[in-house]
Structure 1
Amino acid sequence: IQHLYKEAYLKKVNSISLFDGISTGINDLHRRGYKLAIATGMSRRGLNRALKQSGLESFFAVTKTVDECFSKPHPQMIEEILEFYMVESHEAILVGDSSYDLEMAMNAGVDSIGVTYGSHASEELIQYKPKVLVDNAYEIFEWVMRNE
């Protein structure tokens, strides 16, 4: 049984699938000069593996995980990212799919975009006053481009 579990786990770990539009959208933002970062509840090892497997690692100059920062909704991850890029909170926006993400943004004084196709329903996300709720990745990038 342990062997079967390990085999199934490794298959899942080794297969990263991105939502439609994510790769193109991140590439477009990067090309336009946006400073991209990740603040995640994943481990450093897990994030590094996911970035490598997805081919997105070169787009993010800074990433923060729970291995080096307080967990969400504490604002430390965002504060360290803002400091790294030398930008003010009003110049940044966080995209998140959980109430913890949006609460972290609120705690850091950063605007947010709530993603309804992830962890938490829109009814829960709306409590944290995101600028917009989106139903797919294309809507994230469309909103950002319209609000440059």
Structure 2
Amino acid sequence: MKYKFIIFDWDGTLMDSAAKIVNCMQLAAKQCGVAVPSAEEVGGIIGISLRPAIQKLFNTADEVLTDQLFEAYKNTFIEQDRTPSPMFDGADALLSALKADNRTLAVATGKARRGLDRCWNNTGTGVYFSYSRTADDAESKPSPDMILQLLAEAGVAPEEAVMIGDTTFDMQMARDAGVDRIGVSFGVHAQVHLENYAPQTVVHSLGELQAYLLAH
């Protein structure tokens, strides 16, 4: 077993939530009276923690506007938008197989802690994960802080771990933490961009990811 510690991104890697994130960000922009970003533009910031993502997306350092968009997005996400966010096909089978193979699983996500907890409760997948870092716990991706914290807490060497994600932020974070990385092609960033960070492989389904990880 090479990878005894497997770190997953959440949105766009295990959960198909991009459409909901795009819709909520566009609705937040409308509510705050600013130019509505395109789906492609919103996709470009998925994976970053919410506050820096808003500032990057709307090209603003205005803290008041950032706060307004931040609150509008959160309220829309929780209270108004009903866009479904299912787990990707094969997620439960993947996580169950890895746990059965005595792998230790973790999450490194730009979601807030309560957002990740909500996802775990709604999907019943929290039982698979021993460690996690969120936007509330660490510096935003692509800083390696989340991974470095996880490695330290778990007492795992970088060469025993792998990061799995759908964005260049995940790939850069892993690279800068000295950890192997696997890209998934079905999230928000194209495979060609993921490959700029020299991943060990890029997979096209969670079934393919399961086969790869069980062989490594």
Fold in common (TM above 0.5) = yes
What corresponds to 1:112 in structure 2?
A: 181
The match for 1:96 among 160, 165, 186 is: 165
Moved over 2 A (4+): 5-8
Which one-letter code corresponds to 1:69 in the other structure? Answer: A
Tell me the SS of whatever aligns to 1:70. Answer: coil
Using the size of structure 2 for normalisation, the TM-score is: 0.62
State the 1:8 CA deviation: 4.0
State the 1:105 CA deviation: 0.3
Matched, 1:68 2:137: yes
| Deviating more after overlay: 123-132 vs 16-25 | 16-25
Tell me the SS of whatever aligns to 1:36. Answer: strand
State the 1:103 CA deviation: 0.3
The answer for unaligned runs of 5 or more in structure 2 is 1-30, 32-75
The answer for unaligned runs of 5 or more in structure 1 is none
Show CA shifts across 1:75-130 (max 9, x none). Answer: 11101111121110000001000000000000100001100100100010000000
Kept in 2: contact 1:114–1:130 (CA 8 A)? yes
What corresponds to 1:122 in structure 2?
A: 191
Kept in 2: contact 1:16–1:53 (CA 8 A)? no
- Report the count of equivalent residues: 141
What corresponds to 1:141 in structure 2?
A: 210
Which one-letter code corresponds to 2:131 in the other structure? Answer: V
What corresponds to 2:103 in structure 1?
A: 34
The match for 2:123 among 36, 39, 54 is: 54
RMSD of aligned C-alpha atoms? 1.6
Using the size of structure 1 for normalisation, the TM-score is: 0.90
Which one-letter code corresponds to 1:107 in the other structure? Answer: D
Quick one: distance in 2 between partners of 1:120 and 1:55? 27
State the 1:16 CA deviation: 3.9
